[in-house]
Each structure stands twice: as structure tokens, then as C-alpha cells.
A = this chain, B = another copy of it.
Amino acid sequence: MTAGQPQSIHLQTAGPPTSDTRIWIGPGLLAEAGRRLFSPSGRFLLVSPPSASDPAAAIRLALGDRLIADIALDDREESKNFQTVLGIADRALGAGLRRDDAFVAVGGGVTSDVTGFAAAILLRGVAWNAVPTTTGAMADAAIGGKTGVDHPAGKNLLGAFHPPRVVLIDPRAASSLPERDFRAGLVEAFKAAWIADVALSRRATDSLDRILAREEEALLDLLAGAARVKASIVASDPQDRGRRRLLNFGHTLGHAVEAAGGFRTLRHGEAVAWGILAALEVSKRRCGLPDPDAEGIRADLARLGPFPEPERDPRELEPYLARDKKATVKGIAAVLLESVGRARVVESVPASEWLAAAAIMSLK
């Protein structure tokens, strides 16, 4: 089982912050980890949750005795906190971590967020690699350098910009992913198409049955397309001051419903799906998003769903909106759609408008 000719994206930014990330995409890449992953010293520290045991075994095999630590991670959303980062730090320092060693995060978004953050603050920064094993992490979380953990006051409130040096996207790494996680992660992949690539969006809609059946070619087209959208946007705005905020489409209300559910009711991708449904309502009012475009997105989301009902009570949601990292003294910056493939940032949409959209958003 070899990778044949994998696709490759080089994500490089002059900064601040600087990025120099090589993204490899192709079936069978796990077996090539030994020559694809990056470490200045040649030594690696593996971090992986139980749910990624198969791909982690492949990485372990590929790295052999170049592995100086093998760290088990509890990757539930409620464990995405400072204490978990400290646990990785303890293990890494106990194994004699040096500045020229590198981490390998094998898992979903929580694994790459937490491992990347540990890599960012250990010895003031060591290199890391991402091997995403969920559709959400392949399309989104592993690319772009945002790392971090949650705080009781909100999601990702503690973190760092610290891009991985290599991202290895092998769709086979997601082959044993539970159906619900598989579908939730695809929301992020579709999101990339909706904000910036109308052709990708059409292809993905047309092949959605084959994608849901996990047919390799259709899945690869969507994941690679999403990775290209994300890399291109990140490259144009590494520090999340402008264009990069487009990637937050669906995330303003999405974060709020996810937090209001205590990070247990909804998967991240499911929360983003609800956030997108709310953003469609605001987009129609503020950006003239045509009804057929909104209906097309809603129809795709319905095929990816159903998703559990979110919290809609304004009293529950409002405190989380106020804590949004995109909130400044001026209000919350909103990502809205003008049409499929064309997103833009509208400064300071008041929280009340999001809460009104939350009351009426619907998958049907």
C-alpha cells in the first residue's frame, strides 16, 4: 500500500506569525510517515487518543526507534484544557525533550489543538506534525496554525499561533471514524467550499452520496479542495486580522450553541452547521444572499444531518456571544455570504441579531 503520487500544498507566510507548512494529501500516506514527517533532531514524540489507535499504530511502525515518547491523550472536548497540556508537558520533559525534537499529533481537532499548543509553549516552541484522523481535522483543524484549549469562559480562549511543519492527510486514517463524527466533520469541508469555491461546492453536492459512502476518490476531492481553500486563505492573512476571518463562517453562533451545550450535546461540526443556518438568515437580510443559494446550503446540511437540537434560549446564548474572541469594543465581527463561494466580513453585527436568527434557524 503506497501513496502513489500524493498532492502537495506548501503554505508559507512571511508573518507575523510566520508559517512554513508542507501539506501532503493522498491515500496510503500513513505508511510513508517515516520520510514525510519533520524533526530537526530526527526524534519524535507521538500524541494520540484511543480513538486513533489504528493510524497511531501505523505511525509508530513507520517511526520505529526514532520515537522517544508515546503519549496517550484523552481527546474529549471536556478534556481540552490547560491541565491536559500540562500532562503532555510533564511527559515530554520527563522523556528529555530537546529544542530540536518534534511532536506528531495523530487524531482529531482536539488532538491537534492540544498538541500544537503544548509544542508552542514547551521550551518556548518546538516543531510539530499533524496527522489528522477525522474529516473535520483533515478539512480544517490541522491546517493554519491555530492551537489552543478551552476555558470555562469559552472555547479556545487560551492558545497560540504555532503552525505544524507537516500535515499528512490520508483519507484512510478516517476509515474507522464513527458515522456521526464523519458527517459532522464534513460540515467544515463544505464550509470551505461555500465561502470560497463555488465549483468545489457543486462537485461536492453532486457526489454527496458517494462521499457519505466514503468512496475514496469523491472524499479526497472534497478534503483536498477544503485544504486548498483553507491554506490559500491562511496564506493571505496568517494572523486572523482580515480575510482569514472568513473561515469563521458559522462559528459565531456555532461557538455559542456548542458552549451552551457544555461541549457535550453537539459535535463541533454540528454546532458549526447550526451556526451556518443562523448565518444564512443574517446573510439574507444584510448581504442579499439569494434564496436558492441559502436553500442549496440548507439541503446539503440536511443530507449531512440530522443534528441534535441546539440551545436557542437568548439568556443562555448571550453570555457566550459576548465572550467571542472576535468581539471588540465595536461588537462582534460577522462572516456572511453574498452568494455561494463569496463570503465577506461585516463588522459589529449586534448579539441581538444573532439571537433572533438562532430562534428561527432550521434544517428543513
Say yes or no: A160-B89 contact (C-beta < 8 A), given A15-B18, A16-B15, A329-B41. Answer: no
Q: Map CB proximity to B onto A163-194 as digits: 1 under 8 Å, 0 otherwise.
A: 00000000000000000000000000000000
Interfacial chain B residues near A125, Cβ < 8 Å = 160-161
Tell whether, in the assembled complex, residue A328 and residue B41 are in contact, meaning their CB atoms are under 8 Å apart.
yes
Q: Map CB proximity to B onto A67-94 as digits: 1 under 8 Å, 0 otherwise.
A: 0000000000000001000100110011
Q: Count the A residues whose beta carbon is within 8 Å of the partner chain — how many?
A: 42
By beta carbon, the residue of chain B nearest A13 is B16
A325 at interface (Cβ–Cβ under 8 A)?
yes
Number of this chain's copies in the assembly equals 2
Once the chains are docked, how many angstroms separate the CA of A68 from the CA of B148? Answer: 25
Tell whether, in the assembled complex, residue A158 and residue B121 are in contact, meaning their CB atoms are under 8 Å apart.
yes
A218 at interface (Cβ–Cβ under 8 A)?
no
Once the chains are docked, how many angstroms separate the CA of A158 from the CA of B119? Answer: 10
Once the chains are docked, how many angstroms separate the CA of A257 from the CA of B122? Answer: 22
25 contacts between A and B (CB under 8 A): A15-B16, A16-B17, A17-B17, A17-B18, A43-B329, A89-B151, A89-B157, A90-B151, A93-B151, A93-B153, A93-B157, A94-B153, A96-B322, A96-B323, A99-B328, A120-B160, A121-B121, A121-B148, A121-B160, A122-B157, A123-B157, A124-B146, A124-B159, A124-B160, A124-B325
Tell whether, in the assembled complex, residue A158 and residue B323 are in contact, meaning their CB atoms are under 8 Å apart.
no
A286 at interface (Cβ–Cβ under 8 A)?
no
